């Protein structure tokens, strides 16, 4: 229905519509200037002319939506109501990234940087904080060079972790890298927040296994480990993406993997004693042999009884060894699961990577080179770290809430092993000794309807409140790579130390203070900022803030 049918056509309405028309006209004019200026500036700062069509996509181009959506993993962040970038710039060579930083400053526009697009809140391709903004998409910088003799590889930011695994496998069947389970993660963003996977109990995080990095800083310089210094090199390995600069590439350390790896997935419903088994898992998950990683995937399911709901807990595991040794380990440490030979499948390490990622069996590993994600959803997620086993009555309360939810998903991820041997301040990722497991809460939906989204988000927030009793406290820790804007945001392009400490202490514990000091040193003008970036100390609050963080 037209609004003019509802209200008399008044001068106010005319004024209202005129203003809207003028506003949108002026924003088009502004964006054209921004695009034009940025494009020209890039070419002034590049050795070779970069034609518009080879590296830039503007909202006027037909391909704009498909390029924007290409690697955006959370459909919730692609809604029409969400602000779109003025331009997407896809650097073809490293010096284009330097030019992007220099030109963003010159033109006066904010940058969002994107590698694999898996940010939970879409911060690599949307912005509530700064408008207008452009995306610097690193998707075309994805070279990987593996050096088996040196046990290392250089990987450009735009490569997916699946491509990294494949390139290692191509050169050696007994080398691997301990990072994410989902193979479409971009290594650029992934390692900035920690990067855990099935081998974390033996080798730690991806970020624990980084040897060097190349980064473009706020002044547009390319720095490596030696020229950036140990402070900045520390900060980028776990301090969260997009606060300190644009990572061009990581040098990673390869780890040994056996030629035979064993996997299993054993589901248990409530009727099959899920509560007692999960209670037992909490006693052993972090103490098991370091070759063994058993996570628990929890969902609701239809019960055998028609119309009834149940909860299913699936024990999904990777073991760095043969099935017979695995059965010995399980018999000794976790017989309650009742694992048998026929639950176990032996395979190569790369096949186990694909099994855990959810590829159908027999998928050729070359599919990893496509760098595509297997699925996309609308979703909202949150995280917790658990330091005391959750008692059985706590689990019962949890089941009740899960059964009320609409396609809820929880993943419980065991710690211990190498994770508890690395000190909390070794890198910014602080969730180490004493953590039994991490919980990831996810709620998924499949359509753009606003009410559906609101219902799901409300449900997951309530679940998170319920779990406060069982989660870590002071602070209630959270994983920065599971970015959650419910924990707080920087307001109006301003970042305050006090405000940011609320989520900063959850993500980084005491390491937050050091991150702020480093930010102050390397990016005092706050060039690299977003809703949850590390703040430099604000000029006005400088003295007070300084005293506070020592
Ligand atoms: C389906 C799914 C599965 C996941 N599984 C795991 C898992 O198994 N283990 C795990 O640890 N995490 C996992 N994650 C979380 C994942 O590690 C983070 O979302 C990570 O930040 C993704 O990196 P990206 O490059 O793909 O994302 P992006 O969205 O491109 O980037 C994430 C953040 O880093 C910034 N950033 C991107 N590129 C750069 C760069 N080159 N330099 C500096 N900053 C940059 C972005 O601006 C953004 O703030 C998963 C996420 C999803 C959606
Ligand atoms: C995008 O539009 C510009 C003109 O506005 C054009 O020069 C360019 O070739 C287009 N790019 C693509 C990828 O279509
Ligand atoms: C499990 O261990 C017990 C002793 O602890 C042993 O008697 C039994 O044979 C073992 N079972 C298997 C399948 O290894
Ligand atoms: C930041 O805060 C100051 C006052 O505290 C305000 O004037 C300014 O508009 C805010 N936003 C930005 C982007 O600086």
Among 52-61, 373-382, 482-491, 537-546, whose mean pLDDT is lowest? Answer: 537-546
The pLDDT confidence band at residue 18, using thresholds 50, 70 and 90, is very low
Distance between CA atoms of residues 249 and 229, nearest Å: 16
Q: Which pLDDT does position 29 carry in this prediction?
A: 57
Cβ(519)–Cβ(155) under 8 Å? Answer: no
Q: Which pLDDT does position 20 carry in this prediction?
A: 47
| CB 183 less than 6 A from any atom of ligand 1 | no
Does the domain formed by 261-347+374-469 have CATH 3.40.462.20? yes
Q: Which pLDDT does position 118 carry in this prediction?
A: 98
The pLDDT confidence band at residue 519, using thresholds 50, 70 and 90, is very high
Task: Mention every residue, 6+ apart, whose C-beta is less than 8 A from residue 95.
Answer: 45, 46, 47
Task: Give the number of the ligand closest to the Cα of residue 64.
Answer: 2
Residue 25, both tokens: 């006209």
Using the mean position of ligand 3's atoms as its centre, give its distance from the Cα of residue 200 in Å.
28
- Determine the 3-state secondary structure of 364 from DSSP: coil
Q: Which residues pair with 437 in a beta bridge?
A: 386, 414
Distance between CA atoms of residues 427 and 233, nearest Å: 9
Q: Which pLDDT does position 19 carry in this prediction?
A: 47
Environment class of 376 (CB within 10 Å of its CB; exposed 0-12, middle 13-18, buried 19+): middle
Q: Which pLDDT does position 115 carry in this prediction?
A: 98
- In order, the DSSP letters of 406-456 are SSEEEEEEE--THHHHS-TTSSS----TT--EEEEEEEEE-S--HHHHHHH
pLDDT tens column, 131-158: 789 999 999 999 999 999 999 999 999 9
Residue 187: pLDDT over 90: yes
Q: Where are the domains of the chain?
A: 3-137, 144-256, 261-347+374-469
Percent of the chain scoring above 70 in pLDDT = 91
Residue 416: pLDDT over 90: yes
Task: Give the number of the ligand closest to the Cα of residue 76.
Answer: 1
Using the mean position of ligand 3's atoms as its centre, give its distance from the Cα of residue 333 in Å.
11
The pLDDT confidence band at residue 3, using thresholds 50, 70 and 90, is very low
Q: Which pLDDT does position 22 carry in this prediction?
A: 47
Q: Which pLDDT does position 303 carry in this prediction?
A: 84
| CB 246 less than 6 A from any atom of ligand 1 | yes
| CB 540 less than 6 A from any atom of ligand 4 | no
Q: Which of 324, 327, 330, 331 to mutate to test the pocket of ligand 3 (most atoms within 8 A of CB)?
A: 331
pLDDT tens column, 213-252: 999 999 999 999 999 999 999 999 999 999 999 999 999 9
Using the mean position of ligand 4's atoms as its centre, give its distance from the Cα of residue 494 in Å.
6
CATH of 3-137 among 1.25.40.10, 1.10.10.10, 3.30.43.10, 3.30.70.120? 3.30.43.10
Among 148, 20, 127, 150, residue whose Cα is nearest residue 68: 127
Residue 53, both tokens: 């069509």
Q: Which pLDDT does position 158 carry in this prediction?
A: 98
Mean pLDDT along residues 276-282: 98
Mean pLDDT along residues 540-550: 39
Using the mean position of ligand 2's atoms as its centre, give its distance from the Cα of residue 108 in Å.
23
Residue 439, both tokens: 């919980």
Fold classification of 144-256 is 3.30.465
Residue 207: pLDDT over 90: yes
| Protein residue with its CA nearest to atom 52 in ligand 1 | 118
Task: Give the number of the ligand closest to the Cα of residue 525.
Answer: 4
| Protein residue with its CA nearest to atom 13 in ligand 1 | 180
Residue 260: pLDDT over 80: yes
Using the mean position of ligand 3's atoms as its centre, give its distance from the Cα of residue 344 in Å.
17
Residue 130: pLDDT over 80: no
């Amino acid at each position: 229905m037209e609004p003019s049918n509802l209200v008399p056509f008044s001068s106010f309405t005319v004024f209202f519509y005129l203003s809207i028309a003028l506003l949108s006209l002026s924003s088009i004019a502004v964006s054209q200037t921004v695009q034009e200026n940025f494009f020209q500036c890039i070419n002034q700062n590049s050795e070779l002319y970069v034609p518009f069509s080879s590296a830039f996509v503007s909202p006027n181009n037909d391909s704009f939506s498909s390029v924007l959506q290409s690697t955006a993993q959370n459909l919730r962040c692609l809604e029409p109501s969400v602000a779109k970038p003025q331009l997407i710039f896809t650097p073809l060579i490293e010096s284009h990234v330097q030019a992007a930083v220099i030109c963003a400053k010159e033109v006066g526009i904010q940058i969002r940087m994107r590698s694999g697009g898996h940010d939970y809140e879409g911060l690599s391709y949307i912005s509530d904080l700064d408008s207008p903004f452009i995306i610097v998409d690193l998707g075309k910088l994805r070279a990987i060079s593996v050096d088996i003799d040196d046990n290392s590889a250089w990987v450009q930011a735009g490569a997916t972790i699946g491509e990294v695994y494949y390139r290692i496998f191509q050169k050696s069947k007994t080398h691997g890298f301990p990072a994410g389970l989902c193979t479409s993660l971009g290594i650029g963003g992934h390692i900035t927040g920690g990067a855990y996977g099935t081998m974390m109990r033996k080798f730690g995080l991806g970020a624990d296994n980084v040897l060097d990095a190349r980064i473009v800083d706020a002044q547009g310089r390319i720095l490596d480990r030696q020229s950036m210094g140990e402070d900045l090199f520390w900060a980028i390995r776990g301090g969260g993406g997009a606060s300190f600069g644009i990572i061009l590439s990581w040098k990673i350390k390869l780890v040994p993997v056996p030629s035979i790896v064993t996997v299993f997935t054993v589901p248990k419903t409530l009727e099959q004693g899920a509560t007692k088994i999960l209670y037992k898992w909490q006693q052993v998950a972090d103490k098991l042999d370091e070759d063994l990683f058993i996570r628990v995937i929890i969902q609701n399911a239809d019960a055998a009884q028609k119309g009834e709901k149940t909860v299913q807990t699936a024990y999904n595991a990777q073991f760095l060894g043969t099935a017979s040794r695995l059965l010995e380990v399980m018999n000794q440490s976790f017989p309650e699961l009742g694992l048998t030979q026929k639950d176990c499948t032996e395979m190569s390490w790369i096949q186990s990577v694909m099994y855990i990622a959810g590829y159908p069996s027999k998928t050729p590993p070359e599919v990893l080179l496509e760098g595509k994600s297997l699925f996309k959803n609308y979703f909202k997620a949150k995280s917790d770290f658990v330091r005391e086993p959750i008692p059985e009555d706590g689990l019962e309360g949890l089941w009740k809430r899960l059964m009320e939810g609409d396609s809820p998903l929880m993943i419980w991820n065991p710690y211990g092993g190498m994770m508890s041997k690395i000190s909390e301040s070794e890198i910014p990722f602080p969730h180490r000794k004493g953590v039994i497991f991490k919980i990831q809460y996810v709620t998924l939906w499949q359509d753009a309807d606003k009410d559906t989204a609101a219902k799901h988000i409300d449900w997951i927030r309530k679940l998170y409140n319920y779990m406060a009793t069982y989660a870590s406290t002071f602070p209630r820790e959270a994983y920065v790579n599971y970015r959650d804007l419910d924990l707080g945001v920087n307001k109006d392009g301003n970042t305050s130390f006090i405000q940011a400490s609320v989520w900063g202490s959850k993500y980084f514990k005491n390491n937050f203070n050091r991150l702020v000091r480093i930010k102050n040193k390397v990016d005092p003008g706050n060039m690299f900022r977003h809703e949850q970036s590390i703040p430099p100390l604000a000029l006005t609050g400088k003295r007070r803030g300084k005293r506070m963080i020592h």
